[in-house]
Amino acid sequence: MMAGSQWELPPELCCRPMAFVALTGLDVVYNAVHRAIWDAFCANRRADRVPISFKVLPGDHEYPKCRTKRTSYEWYIPKGILKTGWMNKHLNLVPALVVLFYELDWDDPQWKEKQSECATKVEIVRTSLQGRNTKVAVVLIQKKTPLPPGEDLVASERASALCNACDLSGKSLFVLPHTDHLVGYIIRLENAFYEHAQTYYYTEIRRVKSHKEFLNKTTHQLLFVRHQFKIAFFSELKQDTQNALKYYRTAYSLVHELRAHETNMLEIKTMAGFINYKICRLCFQHNTPLDAIAQFRKHIDLCKKKIGSAELAFEHAAWMSKQFQSFGELFDEAIKLGLTAIQTQNPGFYYQQAACYSQDRKQLAQQLCQVIAHLSVPTTLTPVNEILHSATATASKRRERHQLFVSPSAPNNHMTVENGDYLTCVWREMSATEVKHDFFIVVFAGIDPPDAEKEKTGILSLQIKERDVPHSELIIALLSNAVAQFKKYKCPRMKSHLMVQMGEEYYHAKDYTKALKLLDYVMCDYRTERWWALLTSILTTALRCAYLMASVKDYTIYCMELLGRASTLKEEQKSKIEKNLIKVLMNEVPDPEPECDPSSVSAARSLWSDRMALAGSNELTIEVQDYIPFIQCKAKFQSPSFHVDQPIQLQVFLRADCPHPFNFNKLAVSLSNQEYNQWCVVESAQDSMTLVPGKTRCYSFSFVAKTEDVGKKIEMTGIEVMLGSDAGRCVFLSWRGAGGDAASTHEALQASRSSRRWGRGLEARQELDWDSLSLQHSTMIISRVPKISVQLSHQPPALTNEMFCISLTVQSQEENVAKEVKLTAGLKPGQDANLGQTTHVTLDGSKVCDDSSPALLPDVPLGDLKPGEKLERRVYVRCVSTGPRVFLFHVAYSIDTTVEGRHIVCKCHKDETVTIETVVPFEVSVKFVSTKFEPLDRVAVDIPFLLMTDVLSSSPWPLMLNSSSLQLLTMTSNTPQLQSQLHEVVLQTGECASECFCLRCPAQTSSSSTVATGQYLISWRRQCSGADGPLIQTTVTLPHVILESVPLYIHADLPSFGRVRESLPVRYHIENRTGLVQEVEMAVEPSDAFMFSGLKQVRLRILPGSEQQMLYNYYPLMAGYQTLPQLNISLPRCPTSNTNTLRRFLPQRIFVKPQGRQLDDASIAAA
Amino acid sequence: MAVCIAVIAKENYPLYIRSVPTQNELKFHYTVHTSLDVVEEKISAVGKSLGDQRELYLGLLYPTEDYKVYGYVTNSKVKFVIVVDSSNTSLRDNEIRSMFRKLHNSFTDVMCNPFHNPGDPIQSKAFDGIVSGMMVQTG
């Protein structure tokens, strides 16, 4: 028997009503054909099939008898709203249609006999259904496939004969050939059945509606409800849900119009609950969830106050709980079918409320059923038994008349005549409603005068029954349903709250393990959200559980937190807890927690004494970091770093929040290097180990770090405080890191914001402000401070490629000898990787170092350094590329020293860094010009040209150029011996040195038109570096030139000047540079400044490689710079060649001196 | 009139809770605490759409069988919660709003006190007085 099943909704209410069709004449056990037909009807019914519930019944099945129809309601007084079995009757007992299956082919040889047998069977069914509107139909099972209608004359004739014989309409006769397409036929058949069923329910609705005119409002109130309910239910069977909803709504409002009394209250509520269930269900089905919710709210508001009998108030709570639960289930089901719920409107709220009412029920039951606890069973049994007999008698009488509505689950509870169960079960059978109906009859019908004794016994027995209900189980089930819902709809706090309730309920149900598990789970949520009042309440319950289970560890933890600052308990409660905690530490049994069940307390006591008697296992470690224990701990290193020659100092602060001073026996700090742990322990039984509430105690430790730990971090890994002693029980409170607990971060934050820090005077500061104490959980051990000086001198910037000299002076200020002084010099690591490739460091400054020199010279030994001694070194740096570089000079040494009487060898070092910019010493620019000093963009083959170089100093220091030279690749020098023009030239900043070389480029075999020129080499040094400084060779790659070949080379021999009216002979040489004979046309254009003699226009041929000369005598007419007569040359054979290029080779102008005076010679002579 | 008034810090711990003394105080703590679920949800929903022009009044958070819980969030995410008896139908939305406004004004005064450390529980007599004026008078 499921607890509380009395309040379960009956299954026929919760199911979906479907038309009921009875199939007879099928032998599904022995006849394979019949079996197949039945399977086709009922197996694998998909949603698209018509909603019919089929049942196979024997042909002579007795259907429920139909009561004779009442012709008048005048003297009829209804005794209840609805009869118990009514819904079940119409769902499962009274069919809408009875179908008779009969095997008969149209051409059956014994047609006549079979026809009459069939008629008889129909008659039997009809008789059984006397007075009902149930339809009858006949299905002929035939072996042959029927012919199309109208073609089989025998068939139609015999069909009409059969209809006549059976008194059937043609629409009620069907033929089912059992051939291949059985399922198809069956579907067609059941559609036809469905139509018949619809008609049946329609007539039923009409029939019920027709009663209305006979009713009057005074005596037939109940019938109004009953009829509306029936119409609605038939509409549902007819699958007309819209109308069903309408009628249910009417029925619902009529239910609340009924005259309500204490005696029929339960019946009204039960009925209202049923109708409400139907309405909500249909609303969800019609996808109008808001209507469903509104209806439910209305329902609850209407029924909330209808408590009924005060002695049975728990029944009302149970009923309310059930209302909420079933609505929650309906809601949940709708969600599974696709409805979306929201955070503030989800099934969880209904489950929660259901749980809430179940809790009320439990409380009411505890209050109301307290009395019977004192009554002994035998005394109650006799009177109850007596009454039972009469009560069951009346009840059975009523049931015969089917006038009462009883919860259908009740008849299932058969009497089990066994000791105590007897009483409860019999009362169970006629419980609640039936007992009520006795009263109902008294009030309304005046039958059976009220029997006060009977009533009292009835109530008593119900109370006894209620006492045995496992309330907690029901509440927990509902709560866990709600938890699941709230989890889904993002309500973490609601979920936690419900879990607390679950935990408390488990506590009441004495399942302490589960209670603790739940409470422990949610505690941390309340702790992190800092809801201390709630946390305290949960902890209090948890403490009781732990006490009752005699769980030492849990008990200790909860005690510690309840004593702590997060607890909102009063001082006296805390004192009590503290006393208990001390008892546990002394291995004694603690006093019981208040408000515990006395029987559990005695059980717990013996559990505790067992626990205490148990030897060993009296050490307990508790990680308190995640709690808020009553002992607070904070620790810090005095400084974030210590030099290795200083003692490391750390402080541990402890503070107790309990009401009375508390002793502890040991304090130990664990550090990341465990070798130091031995220095950080205090252990004794002095009074310094007593924590006075509200006072901060400080414990200081100091130790000397090991020299190997230089550069390492020392961290506190944990702090342990030991409470109790070996004599009793040792509890180790352990903090990770440097202490602090679940609440201290927030407190520190608040303290940092606080204005008190600034506002208070000095006298207030003497007391340490606990909250603003900050943790320092690690410290760095760093090397001893060096007592030497390192100085650098140099002349920046560095010039590219030079051997840049940096001189380093180290002076010792140590009091002892600095041993093993070592220098590491060079590029500071961690810069651009390319710098490593382009920087070279050496100690040897006599020659230019090569690329094999490293960028950083490590550990150059410098020997020992006596106190006050000075040492100097030069370091040369060669930077191949420009840009800034950071150089590091690291001087390391070791020295003996003493710390707190301990002798240690310290390694010290001093770093010096310098940033040096590297710049180019000078810039070299190169240009090509023709022999006429005209800039050339291309160079002609085998024709001399000039290369000019400019060296522009950009160094801030004077440069001495030693020499320069050309390294030519393809070109040849036009001058036999190239000599540097820059030898020993000193350039100041911004000064420029130029040089000029005459070159000629021979013809190239390769086809490319550009030619590499070669390199320009300059060797130089800083002037200040002196004559012995190494020379630096700087190589400048000369640009490529574009080479062009000219077919014709022409050049002129002419004097350097002419004189007016004196003959000026000019000889043009024309060379053919091609391998072909060239035909050349030459013409001299007339000029105003010259007369000339010679061939004005000539056409000549020049053989390959040979030369032709043309001689002209020019006769200048004007003085000054004059343009020579223009010589036009064209090559008719290769018209593409540009004569302008040719003209480039020729002199354009000549200086003509004025005519000398003849007389002058004489005058000179005269002079 | 309210049966419980609470001020909750930005980090969701209580700064001030007062309820009518006749009833179970713990129950109100739970009611206010669970209502924060809805407040958080509403704040995050608003945060997504419009940043600054936010309505401080959150309206009815959720109805329980016995109480109606209303919420209000200041711009600095401090929450006010007012719990009203369900049977009290005389209170309109407007009146609740004005209660919250009054509460907010008084809270602002508390914050303006240079000796008050924001984040500490509120221990102001003036604030207490305002709250008392809004609570159901018992006895």
Q: Read out DSSP for A901-941?
A: TEEEEEEEEEEEEEEEEEE-SEEEEEEEEETTS-B-SSEET
Q: Do B37 and A531 touch (CB under 8 A)?
A: no
Residue B128 lies in a domain: yes
CB contact under 8 A, A746 and B11: yes
Beta bridge partners of A884: A917
Give the closest of A353, A492, A529 to B65, CB-based.
Answer: A353
Q: How many domains does chain B have?
A: 1
Q: B123 and chain A: CB distance < 8 Å anywhere?
A: no
Q: What is the mean pLDDT of residues A1018-1046?
A: 83
Q: Which of B44, B58, B65, B87 to mutate to test the interface with A (most CBs of A within 10 A)?
A: B65
d(CA A1022, CA B116) in angstroms, rounded, equals: 73
> Does B106 map to a domain?
yes
Q: Name the pLDDT band for A460 (thresholds 50, 70, 90).
A: confident
Least reliable range by pLDDT among A183-187, A407-411, A559-563, B133-137: A407-411
Residues for chain B: how many in total? Answer: 139
A330 versus A307: which is more confidently predicted? A330
Chain A hits for B30, Cβ within 8 Å = 497, 500, 534
**Using CA atoms, how far apart are residues A172 and A196, in angstroms rounded to an integer?**
9
**pLDDT tens readout for residues A1082-1137:** 888 888 888 888 888 888 888 888 888 888 888 888 888 888 888 888 877 766 66
Q: What string of H, E and C letters represents the secondary structure of A4-34?
A: CHHHCCCHHHHCCCCEEEEEECCCCCCCHHH
Residue of A487, A493, A500 to mutate for B, most B C-beta atoms under 10 A: A493
pLDDT at A1004 over 80: no
Q: Which residue of B has its CA nearest to A343?
A: B38
Residues 6+ apart with CB under 8 A from A684: A665
Interface-testing mutation among B34, B66, B87, with chain A (most A C-beta atoms within 10 A): B34
Distance CA A130, CA A136 (A): 12
Contacts of B4 in chain A (CB under 8 A): none
B25–A contact, CB cutoff 8 A: yes
pLDDT score for A157: 84
Residue A344 CA: distances (Å) to CA of A782, A1018, B45, B48, B61 = 60, 89, 14, 19, 8
Cα–Cα separations (whole angstroms), residue A408 to A23, A162, A325, A641, A779: 26, 43, 19, 83, 78
- Asked if residue B55 belongs to a domain, the reply is yes
Angle of CA points A75, A79, A80, to nearest 5°: 135
Minimal-distance CA residue of chain B relative to A501: B30
CB contact under 8 A, A344 and B38: yes
Task: Enter the ipTM.
Answer: 0.94
Asked if B120 has any chain A CB less than 8 Å from its own CB, the reply is yes
pLDDT surpasses 70 at A884: yes
B-interface mutation test, from A303, A363, A529, most B Cβ less than 10 A away = A529
Pairwise CB contact (< 8 Å): B33 & A531: yes
A490, A529, A756: residue with CB nearest B12:
A529
Nearest CA in chain A to B121: A750
Contact B13 A356 (CB under 8 A): no
Closest approach of A357 to chain B, Cα-based (Å)? 10
Q: Which residues contact A715 (CB under 8 A, 6 or more apart)?
A: A671, A672, A737, A777, A778
> Length of chain A, please?
1167
Whether the Cβ atoms of residue A504 and residue A384 lie closer than 8 Å to each other: no
Name every chain B residue with its beta carbon within 8 A of the beta carbon of A753.
117-119
Distance between CA atoms of A631 and A614, rounded to whole angstroms?
A: 28
Interface residues of chain A, partner chain B, Cβ below 8 Å: 300, 343-344, 349, 353, 356, 490-494, 497, 500, 529-531, 533-534, 537, 746, 749-750, 753-756, 759
Torsion angle of the four alpha carbons A789, A795, A800, A801, in this order, in degrees rounded to the nearest 10:
-70
A529–B118: do the CB atoms touch at under 8 Å? Answer: no
Percent of chain B with pLDDT strictly greater than 90: 54
Contact A38, A71 (CB under 8 A): no
Average confidence (pLDDT) over B74-80: 91
Average pLDDT for A642-653: 90
Q: What is the pLDDT of residue A415?
A: 28
Give yes or no for B38 touching A (CB within 8 A). yes
Query: Biggest alpha carbon distance in chain A?
Result: 188
Confidence of residue A384 (pLDDT cuts 50, 70, 90): very low
Contact A533 B36 (CB under 8 A): no
- Which chain B residues are closer than 8 Å to A494 by Cβ? 34, 37
Helix (H, G, I), strand (E, B) or coil at A182: helix
Least-confidence region, from A125-129, A180-184, A529-533: A180-184
* CB distance A129 to A89 below 8 Å: no
In chain A, what residues touch B33 (CB-CB under 8 Å)? 493, 497, 529, 531, 534
Question: Do B119 and A753 lie within an 8 Å CB cutoff?
Answer: yes
What is the pLDDT, as a whole number, of residue A1158?
62
pLDDT tens figures, A253-308:
998 888 877 777 888 888 899 999 999 999 999 999 999 999 999 999 889 888 88
Token duo for residue A791: 């100085």
Query: Does residue B78 lie within any of the structural domains?
Result: yes
- How far apart are the C-alpha atoms of A221 and A251, rounded to whole Å? 11
Minimal C-alpha gap between B13 and chain A (Å)? 5
Identify whether the C-beta of residue A350 lies closer than 8 Å to the C-beta of residue A327: yes
> In which domain, by residue range, is B75 found?
2-134
Examine the pLDDT at A349 and tell me if it is beyond 50.
yes
Task: State the best of B37, B64, B120 to mutate against chain A, taking most chain A CBs within 10 Å.
Answer: B37
In a domain, B139, yes or no: no
CB contact under 8 A, B17 and A533: yes
Nearest to B120 among A353, A356, A750 (CB): A750
Of B33, B38, B62, the CB nearest to A534: B33
User: A938 is written with which tokens?
Assistant: 């291309």
Residue B18 lies in a domain: yes
Cβ neighbors of A1036 (< 8 A, separation 6 or more) are A924, A926, A949, A1015, A1016, A1017, A1018
How far away is chain B from the Cα of A640, in angstroms, using its nearest Cα?
A: 30
* Locus of tokens 């009781």: A544
Q: Say how far apart CA A105 and CA A590 lie, in whole Å.
A: 93
Return the minimum-mean-pLDDT range out of A905-914, A1055-1064, A1125-1134.
A1125-1134
| DSSP symbols for A1123-1158 | EPPPEEEE-SS-TTS-HHHHHHHS--EEEEEPPPPH
Instruction: Measure CB to CB from residue B14 to each of A490, A531, A754 and give the nearest one.
Output: A531
- In this prediction, residue A1072 has a pLDDT band, given cuts at 50, 70 and 90, of confident
Question: A759 to chain B: which residues are within 8 Å by CB?
Answer: 115
Quick one: DSSP state of residue A1040? P
What are A314-323's pLDDT values in tens digits?
889 999 999 9
Question: What tokens does A6 get?
Answer: 């009395």
For residue A1030 the two structure tokens come to 């190494």
Residue A596: strand, helix, or coil: coil
Sign of CA dihedral A187, A191, A196, A201: positive
First to last CA, chain A: 164
A461: its two tokens: 């027995």
Kindly determine whether residue B14 and residue A530, on different chains, have CB atoms separated by under 8 Å: yes
Stronger pLDDT, A1073 or A528, i.e. the higher one: A528
Q: Are strands A945-953 and A972-973 parallel, antiparallel or unpaired?
A: unpaired
Q: Evaluate the CA torsion angle A972, A976, A977, A980 in order and state its sign.
A: negative
Instruction: Give me the percent of chain A exceeding a pLDDT of 70.
Output: 88
CA of A558, closest CA in chain B: separation in Å?
19
Residue at B35 is within a domain: yes
B66 in A contact zone (CB under 8 Å):
no
Share of chain A above pLDDT 90, in %: 25
Averaged pLDDT, A2-7? 56
User: How far does B111 lie from chain A, in Å, by closest CA?
Assistant: 13
Q: Kindly report, residue by residue over A748-777, the tens digit of the pLDDT.
A: 888 887 755 554 444 445 566 787 788 888
Separation CA A99–CA A103 (nearest Å): 13
The more confidently predicted of residues A661 and A849 is A661
Whether the CB-CB separation of A1052 and A1071 falls below 8 Å is answered with no
Give dist(CA A1136, CA A933) in Å, integer.
Answer: 27
Question: In this predicted model, what pLDDT tens digit does every residue of A5-63 receive, in sequence order?
Answer: 677 888 888 888 999 999 998 888 888 889 888 988 888 788 788 889 999 988 888 88
Mean local confidence (pLDDT), A653-676: 90
Average pLDDT over residues B9-30: 89
The pLDDT assigned to B59 comes to 87
Closest CA relative to residue A908, chosen from A919, A897, A923: A897
Tell me if A750 and B17 make a contact (CB, 8 A cut-off).
no
- Contact residues on chain B for A349, CB-CB shorter than 8 A: 62, 64
Predicted confidence at residue A389, as pLDDT, reads 39
Taking a C-beta distance cutoff of 8 angstroms, is the pair A796, A916 a contact? yes
Which residues from chain A sit within 8 angstroms of residue B64, using beta carbons? Answer: 349, 353
In a domain, B20, yes or no: yes
pLDDT value at residue B48: 57
Q: How confident is the model at residue B65 (pLDDT cuts 50, 70, 90)?
A: confident
DSSP one-letter code for A89 = I
d(CA A648, CA A673) in angstroms, rounded, equals 13
Decide if B34 and A746 are in contact by the 8 Å CB cutoff. Answer: no
Instruction: Check whether B126 has a pLDDT greater than 90.
Output: yes
The alpha-carbon gap from A57 to the nearest alpha carbon of chain B, in Å, equals 50
Give residue A447's pLDDT.
34
Which strand (E) or helix (H) includes residue A350?
A: helix A347-368
For residue A558, give Cα distances in angstroms to A501, A523, A547, A751: 18, 11, 10, 27
Instruction: Taking residues A1032-1037, report their average pLDDT.
Output: 88
- Window from A409-418, A1082-1091, A1128-1137, B106-115 with minimum mean pLDDT: A409-418
**Is a pLDDT exceeding 90 seen at residue B78?**
yes
Model confidence band, residue A1045 (pLDDT cutoffs 50, 70, 90): confident
Catalogue the long-range contacts made by B12-16 (C-beta closer than 8 Å, 24 or more residues apart). Answer: B12/A529, B12/A530, B12/B36, B12/B40, B12/B79, B13/A529, B13/A530, B13/A531, B14/A530, B14/A531, B14/A533, B14/B121, B15/B78, B15/B119, B15/B120, B15/B121, B15/B122, B16/B121, B16/B122, B16/B127, B16/B131
Shortest alpha-carbon distance between residue A485 and chain B (Å): 14
State the CATH number of the domain containing residue B32: 3.30.450.70
d(CA A366, CA A372): 10
State the pLDDT confidence band at A1074, using cuts at 50, 70 and 90. Answer: confident
B11 inside 8 A of chain A by CB: yes
Residues 6+ apart with CB under 8 A from A862: A810, A821, A822, A823, A871, A873, A891
Q: What is the pLDDT of residue A735?
A: 92
Interface test with B, best of A301, A351, A352, A491 (most B CBs within 10 A): A491
